[in-house]
Amino acid sequence: MPDAVKEGWITEKEIDSQLAILLKTRFKLGLFDPMGSDPYDAISSTVVNSESHRALAREVAQKSMVLLKNNGILPLKNDLGKYFVTGPNAASIEILLGNYYGINPNMVTILEGITASISPASKLQYRLGAMLNQKAVNPVNYATGNAADSDVTIVVLGVSSTIEGEEGDSLSSLTAGDRLDYNLPQNQIDYLRELRETANKDPNNKRPIVAVITGGSPMNLAEVQELADAVLLVWYPGEEGGTAVADILFGKISPSGKLPITFPKSLDQLPPFEDYSMKGRTYKYMNVDPMYPFGFGLGYTNFTYGEAKVAATKISKKDNLKVAVKVTNSGKVKSDEVVQLYVSDLVASVEVPNFQLTNMKRITLEPGESTEVSFQLTPKAFEMVKNDGSRVIESGEFKIYVGGSSPMKRSFELGAPKMAEITVAVK
């Protein structure tokens, strides 16, 4: 850095301005204040890894996991005769953390979470079965045979920070953490196919397979969707991740997470990296059906959305607009639902998003319970960005969608409930 200043590549003033940004939070936390003058000094170290903090970690993991497929196998009973847990990430602490390294004595792997949740009278078999991203050298694999005589196989696949992430962490990556393709490691897909073939050995008694997927970015899960009876995306679930996974698999809670990103079917659905236009990027400008749409996620119950109601279908550019929808848990399981509101500009002078998430609310409903969910839209919800970067509201019609996913055809093909829709005119 001193050499850079000396050579005139950067000034001390520029360095100071960037340091101010970096240090702002540290100043707010009182890290430079005298000991005893900061209210955080009174917090005892006993709060670290406390019961309440672990409970919070568990809750965060539960609410973030996304159920992508379920043919009825989930939730599992916890007293089946035999469970088979396998896959490169089943017993991994690494996939709990991502690229965070705050180890504590209570890390719960997915294998441990499942083991602790089943009946003492049940049998559980564990085998690694496959490496993370390397083909097995030994041609003999005794693991797959367990899929034929187990009541359910739970295979934990996906990636870890050794494949994706920062260069220094990605020890298994030949490309320093960058991913040159969108696929799961081929050896994992091959292993899943072997499990499927073994599980289907008796055509009169096909054994179910549940795929639990770890990772921090979109992956090509087309073959996983095809081969598994249920697919649960758990990301990097943290210290209580294994317990949270078990909570969902065995129905202690209903999954309620929604995808914060779009999962394309393949790289062919994405524009070239060198193309800086928005066409085809994110759910807002995607013109093809993805594998899993933005905002999508299943649960163990069904939600029904009533008609969208507004105070007026014609408003001025300065008006706020209240949108209300009745949501009903029409299933048999208590569950959270993340109600999402999207706005689509139907007539615009420049390219605008197909639709855009404007607001959302998480609600909890008992079986048969209904509630009215309302949103207050400000004029900003109807703004568009012109080519010169300015924001304006153009007169015209806007469609408002309220539901449990983004309003893509693919969402409903995968099981998302029908959305409430209404069109309003802005003058």
What's the pLDDT score for residue 191?
97
What are 204's two structure tokens?
A: 């009169």
- pLDDT tens digits for the chain (427 residues)? 788 888 889 999 999 999 999 899 888 888 888 988 888 888 888 888 899 999 999 999 999 999 999 999 999 999 999 999 999 999 999 999 988 877 888 899 999 999 999 999 999 999 999 999 999 889 889 999 999 999 999 999 999 988 888 777 788 877 777 777 889 999 999 999 999 999 999 999 999 999 999 999 999 999 999 999 999 999 999 999 999 999 999 999 999 999 999 999 988 888 887 888 888 889 999 999 999 999 999 999 999 999 999 989 999 999 999 999 999 999 999 999 999 999 999 999 989 999 999 999 999 999 999 999 999 999 999 999 988 889 999 999 999 999 999 999 999 999 999 999 999 999 9
How far CA 294 is from CA of 45, 68, 247, 297, 386, in Å, comes to 40, 12, 24, 9, 25
Residue boundaries of the structural domains of the chain: 2-43, 47-253, 302-426
DSSP letter assigned to residue 175? T
Query: What strands, in cross-sheet order, belong to the sheet with 335-345?
Result: 314-315, 420-426, 396-403, 335-345, 356-365
Backbone angles phi, psi at 172, to 5 degrees: -100, 5
What are 282's two structure tokens?
A: 């994110």
- Write out the H or E segment, with its range, that includes residue 205: none
Q: Which residues contact 292 (CB under 8 A, 6 or more apart)?
A: 68, 221, 259, 262, 263, 410, 414
CATH 3.40.1190.20 fits 302-426, yes or no: no
What's the pLDDT score for residue 146?
96
Tell me the whole-structure pTM to 2 decimals.
0.91
Rounded Cα distance between 31 and 29, Å, is 6
What's the pLDDT score for residue 157?
98
What's the pLDDT score for residue 384?
93
What's the pLDDT score for residue 415?
96
Determine whether 76 is exposed, middle or buried from the number of CB atoms within 10 Å of its CB (0-12, 13-18, 19+).
buried
DSSP 226-267: HH-SEEEEEES--TTHHHHHHHHHTTSS------SS-B-SSG
At residue 421, the 3 state secondary structure works out as strand
- Looking at the DSSP bridge assignments, the partners of residue 360 are 340
DSSP letter assigned to residue 95? H
Instruction: Output the CATH code of domain 47-253.
Output: 3.40.50.1700
51-64 and 241-249 helices, crossing angle to 10° = 50
